[in-house]
Amino acid sequence: MKIMKNLLILSFTPVMLIMTACEDEKTEPLPESATISGTITFSGDLPSTGTVYLSIQNTWYPVDAPYATTTISESDVTANVYAYSFTEVAFGTYASISVSWEDPDDTNPATNQHIIGVYGGTAAAYFADADSIIVSEDIYELTGLDFGADFGLVQP
């Protein structure tokens, strides 16, 4: 009987070890992309023609296509403030977030976008002082990236 008891204990020991080792740990999965959000406060009058764009720029001053862009219509702006959010942003470093107005009378893509606001940048410095944005697995939710944009800088 003692042999049976020992065999039974020995046969249950590996099962107990396996069951204990397979506990589910409650860890959060690593993020696969980032979210960037904030508000833009507009000043001046929105031109009656043309399109206003909000863009995440790969380079600054922009010389190539932006990483991401969206249009801003007058109906999207409440009390001169536009709340924005870019989701599923790939991890990396971006040169700036900018607001521009596209002049419909200028068909040259090298000159038809007029910058009216940049995150961290000032018009006095021609927006050359824009702040870059870094997103990663550790920094994947950037909020409060607020800045201003001035329609007085465009001359339709």
Q: Supply the pLDDT for residue 12.
A: 59
**CATH class, 34-153 region:** mainly beta
**The pTM is what?**
0.78
Residue with tokens 């050359």: 128
Q: How confident is the model at residue 61 (pLDDT cuts 50, 70, 90)?
A: confident
In the chain, what are the helix, strand and coil shares in percent, each to the nearest 5?
A: 20, 35, 45
Instruction: Spell out the residues 6+ positions from residue 36 whose beta carbon is closer than 8 angstroms to its own.
Output: 56, 85, 86, 89, 97, 133, 135, 142, 145
Instruction: Spell out the residues 6+ positions from residue 50 whose beta carbon is closer than 8 angstroms to its own.
Output: 101, 102, 103, 104, 154, 156
Q: Supply the pLDDT for residue 63.
A: 84
Residue bearing the bigger pLDDT, 22 or 131? 131
Q: Supply the pLDDT for residue 151.
A: 94
In a 13 Å sphere around the CA of 121, the CA atoms on its Cβ side amount to 24
Query: Average pLDDT, whole number, for the chain?
Result: 87
Per residue in 91-148, pLDDT tens?
Answer: 999 999 999 999 999 999 888 999 999 999 988 888 899 999 999 999 999 999 999 9
